[in-house]
Amino acid sequence: MFLSTFGAQMLSVAVSWDLYLQTRSAVVLGNVGFVQVAPFLLFALFAGHVADRYDRRRTMIIAQILLLAASVPLVAGYRSVPVIYSCLFIVAFGRAFQWPARQALLPHIVPAEALGNAITWNSSVQEVSNVTGPAMAGILLATVGTRTVYAIYMICAVLTLISFLSLRYRSKVVVNAPAATLRSLLEGMDFVRKNKLILSAITLDLFAVLFGGATALLPIYAADILHAGAQGLGWLRAAPSVGSVTMAVVMAHSPRIHRAGKALLWTVAGFGAATIVFGLSRRLWLSLAMLVLVGAFDNVSVVLRQSLLQTGVPDYVKGRVLAFSSIFISSSNQFGAVESGWTAAWFGPVASVAGGGVATILVVLTCALVSVQLRRWKQ
């Protein structure tokens, strides 16, 4: 997971930088989100069915081969907007199938008594790669260019494939999903619909990230607002992960959060407040500090939501529930990028980011008022 996320973060920075230098268009940057979310919307439910019916490790391996193939045109030097969009679509298609299989596999590769702590460390490993990936990409962009970044992504994809081939199960995985029918494909969605707590937590995440995401506009902030260049872009991309790693280590060594619902609401509100300050900032140090807070608050919400999904969903339907959840997660991230790009084109990047932070806080207030289950959720 470290290798996979490290490579993906480097690819994201290089692609966004290439696109912005080619076009100077906020819309082109925003549409990267649409290209990446489309495969999740189209295939996520079927991907969840595949995770519940077939060997999850094998699914991860096949998907990783697709991710590796997508790097070939970029390394070869084909980097027009249509080529980059096509490669991103293939990567997103592979991840749509890899995500539910990989997440549903976790309880079968760690001891049951360590699952809660493993979820936190799992998040920590991803965030360490989230820190180092963008920072390294920024340094390489400023010194040797994007081709080297794409080559490193390819190497990471190869090593990730080798790691997946080496995975071994601790417990037997029983794949007993029925044959693919409309009813079986929608079973994960039906489970979430009936579980009001899970539905509330996923909905909060969907709308908070939809309005509160500033990542898509970081190239504009680095180049035109903070005047920090390619290396500054790398540090801006890495800053949320610094906060996330710090918070993950703290949580891994702290008692479990018992009033999980209230903690989730407060941390998402903090995410929105930090986003507002970042949007208005004109100083690099303040912008970095706010992004660190964004990452810290986001990590708490991720860990709480993942704990809820891992412990509150039976294994026979877990792949389909996680796939349905991935639609929300990916939709919020990628449609958030689209929303940020278009609002930045209409009203400017500052209004887009700061206004999104305000909308995030309003979403938290609405969820707190509407969802009794979320307010009362205790672990």
Q: What DSSP line would sit under 243-289, residue for residue?
A: HHHHHHHHHHTS---SSHHHHHHHHHHHHHHHHHHHHH--SHHHHHH
CATH architecture of 2-165+183-376: Up-down Bundle (1.20)
What is the mean pLDDT of the segment spanning 13-19? Answer: 86
pLDDT of residue 63: 94
pLDDT (tens digit, 9 = 90+) per residue, 192-235?
Answer: 778 888 888 888 877 777 776 677 788 888 888 888 877 788 78
DSSP state letter for 178: P
Does position 319 have pLDDT exceeding 70, yes or no? yes
Task: Select from 63, 145, 146 the least CA-distant residue to 97.
Answer: 63
Burial of 237 (0-12, 13-18, 19+ CB in 10 A): buried
From 140-154, 167-181, 220-234, the region with the lowest mean pLDDT? 167-181
What is the mean pLDDT of the segment spanning 170-189? Answer: 62
Does position 357 have pLDDT exceeding 60, yes or no? yes
Q: Which two tokens stand for residue 149?
A: 């970044």
pLDDT of residue 163: 93
pTM, entire model: 0.66
pLDDT of residue 67: 93
Task: Select from 350, 338, 357, 196 the least CA-distant residue to 269.
Answer: 357
Helix locations, the chain, DSSP H: 2-23, 26-53, 56-75, 81-105, 115-143, 146-165, 182-185, 187-194, 196-212, 218-220, 229-252, 260-280, 284-312, 315-347, 349-370, 372-376
Longest Cα–Cα distance in the chain: 56
pLDDT of residue 333: 63
| Share of the chain residues as helix, strand and coil, in percent rounded to the nearest 5 | 85, 0, 15
- Residue-averaged pLDDT of the chain: 81
Structure confidence at residue 38 as a pLDDT band (50, 70, 90): confident
pLDDT (tens digit, 9 = 90+) per residue, 53-92?
Answer: 788 889 999 999 999 999 999 988 888 888 999 999 999 8
CB 16 within 8 A of CB 29: yes
HSE of 129 in the Cβ direction (CA atoms, 13 Å)? 19
Structure confidence at residue 164 as a pLDDT band (50, 70, 90): very high
